[in-house]
Structure 1
Amino acid sequence: MNNEHIKLIFGLKLKQLRQEKGLSLQDLSSKSGISNSYLNEIEKGKKYPKTDKITALATALETEYDELVSLKMSKKLEPITKLLKSNLLTELPFDFFGVDTAQILELFSSAPAKLSAFINAIFEIGKNYNLTVEKFYFAALRSYQELHQNYFPELENEAARFINEKIDPNEQFIGEQHLIELLGNLYGISIEFFDEEDQPVISNMRSIFRPESKVLMINKRISRNQRAFTMAKELGFQFMSLKERPYTSASIDVKSFEEVLNNYKASYFAGAILIREKLIVQDIENWFGSETWNPDALIEMSERFSATPETLFYRIGNVLPKYFGIDNFLFMRFDALPGSQKYFLTKELHLSKRLGPQENKEEHYCRRWVSISILDHLSSKQEAGKYDKPIVDAQKSFLSNRKEDFFVFSMARPLNILKQLNISVSLGFEVDESLKSKIKFLADKNINRQEVNQTCERCGIFECKERVAAPTLLQKERHEEEIRKVLEKLH
Structure 2
Amino acid sequence: MEQDYIKLIFGLKLKQIRTDKNLSLFGLSKLTGLSKSYLNEIEKGKKYPKPDKIAILSDRLDVPYDQLVSLKLDKNLAPVGEILQSKILKEIPFDLFGIKESNLIDIVANAPAKVNAFISTIIEIAKHYNFSRESFFLASVRSFQEANNNYFDDLEQKVLKFAKSYQVDLTQPVLSKDLEEILVEEYGYTINETELGKHEALDNLRSVFVPKTQTLLLASGVDEAQRAFIFAKEIAYHFLEITDRLFTFPWIKFDSFDQVLNNFYASYFAGALVLPKEELTLKLQDVFEKDTFDKTQFLKTMESFNASPESFYQRLTNVLPKAFNIKNLFFLRFTHKANSNKFYLKKELHLSHQHSPRANETNEHYCRRWASLKVLKDISKSKKTHEFDIQISNYVNDDMTYLVLSSATQDPFKPNQYRSITIGLLLNKQLERKLNFLNDKAIKTQDVGVTCERCAIKECKLREAPPIVLDKIEKNKKIEDIVSTLNNVFSKAL
TM tier relative to shorter chain: over 0.9
Which residue of the partner structure matches residue 212 of structure 2? 212
RMSD over aligned Cα atoms: 1.6
Q: Shift in Å at residue 458 of structure 1?
A: 1.0
Of 425, 439, 447, 1:451 maps to 447
The 2-side partners of 1:480 and 1:170 are apart by: 59
The 1-side partners of 2:183 and 2:403 are apart by: 40
What secondary structure is seen at the aligned counterpart in 1 of 2:193?
A: strand
Which residue of the partner structure matches residue 333 of structure 1? 333
The 5 Å alignment of 1:368-407 reads 368-382=369-383, 387=384, 389-407=385-403
The 2-side partners of 1:180 and 1:171 are apart by: 19
Which residue of the partner structure matches residue 165 of structure 1? 165
The 5 Å alignment of 1:13-162 reads 13-162=13-162
The 2-side partners of 1:13 and 1:216 are apart by: 52
Of 405, 417, 423, 2:413 maps to 417
Which residue of the partner structure matches residue 464 of structure 1? 460
Task: Tell me the amino acid that sits aligned with residue 92 of structure 2.
Answer: L
Task: Tell me the amino acid that sits aligned with residue 7 of structure 2.
Answer: K
Q: Shift in Å at residue 351 of structure 1?
A: 0.9
Return 5+ residue gaps in structure 2 as ranges. Answer: 488-494
The 1-side partners of 2:21 and 2:310 are apart by: 61
Q: Confirm or deny: 8 A CA contact 2:146 2:351 kept in the other structure.
A: yes
Q: Shift in Å at residue 251 of structure 1?
A: 2.9
The 5 Å alignment of 1:279-290 reads 279-290=279-290
Note the alpha carbon deviations across 1:323-359, whole angstroms, 9 max, x for none: 1111111111110012312101111111122324332
What secondary structure is seen at the aligned counterpart in 1 of 2:389?
A: strand
Note the alpha carbon deviations across 1:443-489, whole angstroms, 9 max, x for none: 22111211111111111222111111111111111111111222222
What secondary structure is seen at the aligned counterpart in 2 of 1:201?
A: helix
CA 468–268 in structure 1, closer or farther in 2 if over 3 Å, else same: same
Q: Which moved more, 1:211-220 or 1:196-205?
A: 196-205
The 2-side partners of 1:358 and 1:89 are apart by: 25
Return 5+ residue gaps in structure 1 as ranges. Answer: none
Q: Shift in Å at residue 192 of structure 1?
A: 1.1
The 5 Å alignment of 1:213-252 reads 213-252=213-252
Q: How does the TM-score come out when normalised to structure 1?
A: 0.95
Q: Which moved more, 1:56-65 or 1:68-77?
A: 56-65
What secondary structure is seen at the aligned counterpart in 1 of 2:482?
A: helix
Note the alpha carbon deviations across 1:225-245, whole angstroms, 9 max, x for none: 111111111111111111222
What secondary structure is seen at the aligned counterpart in 2 of 1:49?
A: coil
Q: Confirm or deny: 8 A CA contact 2:44 2:106 kept in the other structure.
A: yes
CA 222–168 in structure 1, closer or farther in 2 if over 3 Å, else same: closer
Which residue of the partner structure matches residue 353 of structure 2? 353
The 2-side partners of 1:19 and 1:290 are apart by: 70
CA 248–197 in structure 1, closer or farther in 2 if over 3 Å, else same: closer
Which residue of the partner structure matches residue 365 of structure 1? 366
The 2-side partners of 1:236 and 1:366 are apart by: 38
The 1-side partners of 2:379 and 2:324 are apart by: 31
What secondary structure is seen at the aligned counterpart in 1 of 2:263?
A: helix
Q: Which moved more, 1:55-64 or 1:337-346?
A: 55-64
Q: Confirm or deny: 8 A CA contact 1:296 1:392 kept in the other structure.
A: no
Give the total of aligned pairs: 486
CA 244–422 in structure 1, closer or farther in 2 if over 3 Å, else same: same
Which residue of the partner structure matches residue 12 of structure 1? 12
Q: Confirm or deny: 8 A CA contact 1:370 1:395 kept in the other structure.
A: yes
The 2-side partners of 1:168 and 1:352 are apart by: 35
The 1-side partners of 2:359 and 2:117 are apart by: 27
Of 482, 485, 489, 2:485 maps to 489
Q: Shift in Å at residue 154 of structure 1?
A: 1.2
